[in-house]
Amino acid sequence: MNFPGSGIFKGMVVSAINLFGSYFDRAHAKRLITEQYPEERPTLPEASRSFPFLVFDGDPEKGIRCVACKICEKECPPQCILIEQDRDENGKLLRRPKVFNIDISVCMGCQICVESCPFESIRMDNIYEVSSYDRFDSLVLPKEKLLKSNEYYHSIHPTEAAETDARIEAARLKKEAAAKAAAQKMAAAKAAAEAKAAAEQSSQPESQA
């Protein structure tokens, strides 16, 4: 059926189907997919990422995983991370950050810091309501705001967090095993040394005297 104007007619039918369909197709979200944002909130997929945060275990002061190695600061493509290493009262460098700032108005959420972090310390958050009237005070996140617990990490990226924990656990076990082995070795060495020393002592008591 191809009379002049039939194409327009077909188009009108399609737009009418969409017009009325948007009232009836709602349940399957086939046609009307708009989310009414402040009331309806999207369920973010697990992989969803926005800005980085720092993971800590247990206590935010002691459990901080970051060792201020500054790898992420170097790798960050837009250079939005600023890290200063902490020092103790004697001025000796400590393996934890004193300042850890992320300027999220510069951050582009690329996740390269996460990939480059060898200590599983920096991870991606999925917050998205961060707009503010103040460019510097509220968009430059200091360490206090960046620190979030491992439980929070588990709540937003369960699969990834479980993998991370497993990795850390494996590393810990390996380390422990290594430490144990080392300790055993050391103990053995020590024992051997003591034995040797004892033997020496026993063999040369006179020379000392």
Partner 1 sequence: MNFIDLLKRIPEICKTPETLPLEGKKLILDFVTWLGSLVGIAVPPWVLTLVNILVVIVAIIAVFLIMFALMSVWERKILARAQNRYGPNRVGPWGLFQPVADGIKMLTKEDIVPRNADKVVHFIAPIVMLVPALILPVLLPYGRGMVAIDLSVGILFFFAVGAGSEVAIFLAGWSSRNKYSILGAMRAIAQMISYELPLVMSAVIVALVAGTLSPTGIVEAQGGYQFGFFPNWFVFTPWGFVACVLFYFSALAESNRSPFDLPEGESELVAGHLTEYSGFKYALFFMAEYVGMFAINGLLVTLFLGGYQAPLPFLTFIPSWCWFFIKLAFLAFSLVWVRATMPRFRIDQMMQFAWKFMLPMSFAALFSAAAWHYAGRGLLGWGISAVLVAIPYFALGYFCFTRHHSADNRRYLFSE
Partner 2 sequence: MTEADGAGAQTLDVSLGPQHPSTHGVFRMNVRMDGETVVKLQPVFGYLHRNHEKLAEGKSWLGSMPFTDRLDYICPITNNWGYALAVEKLAGIEVPDRAEYIRVIVGEMTRIQNHTAFLGFILGDMGAWGSALMYAFREREKILDLFEGLTGARMMANYMRFGGVRCDLPAGWLEKARAYIETYPAFLDEMEKFLTGNEILLSRLQGVGVMSAERAINGGLSGPVLRASGVDYDIRKVDGYGVYPRLKFRVPRGTVGDCFDRFMLRILEIRESIQILQQAFAQIPQGPILNPAVKTRGFKPPVGEAYGRIEGPKGELGFHLVSDGGEKPYRYHIRPPSLINLTLLEEMCVGTKIADVMVILGSIDIVLGEVDR
- Give the binding site for partner 1 (CB under 8 A): 2-5, 7-8, 11-12, 14-16, 18-23, 31-34, 36
For the CB of residue 15, give the shortest distance to partner 2 in the complex, in Å: 6
Tokens of residue 174, six digits = 């390996």
Find out whether 10 and 3 touch, Cβ atoms under 8 Å.
no
CA separation for the pair 67, 52 (Å, rounded): 16
Maximum C-alpha span of the chain: 124
Phi, psi of 70 (to 5 degrees): 70, 15
Could you say which of partner 2, partner 1, none residue 108 binds, taking C-beta under 5 to 8 angstroms by partner kind?
Answer: partner 2
Interatomic CA distance for residues 122 and 94, integer angstroms: 18
Closest separation between CB of residue 6 and partner 2, Å? 7
Total residues at interface with partner 2 (CB under 8 A): 32
User: Could you tell me the two tokens for 46?
Assistant: 């697990």
Which of partner 2, partner 1, none sits in contact with 81, Cβ below 5 to 8 A by type?
none
> Least distance to partner 2 from the beta carbon of 190, Å?
38
Q: Which is nearer to partner 2, 5 or 205 (CB)?
A: 5
Among partner 1, partner 2, none, what binds residue 116 when CB lies within 5 to 8 Å by partner kind? partner 2
Choices 40-48, 88-96, 133-141, 200-208 (CB under 8 A): range interacting with partner 2: 40-48
**And the tokens for 18?**
């969409």
SS3 201: helix
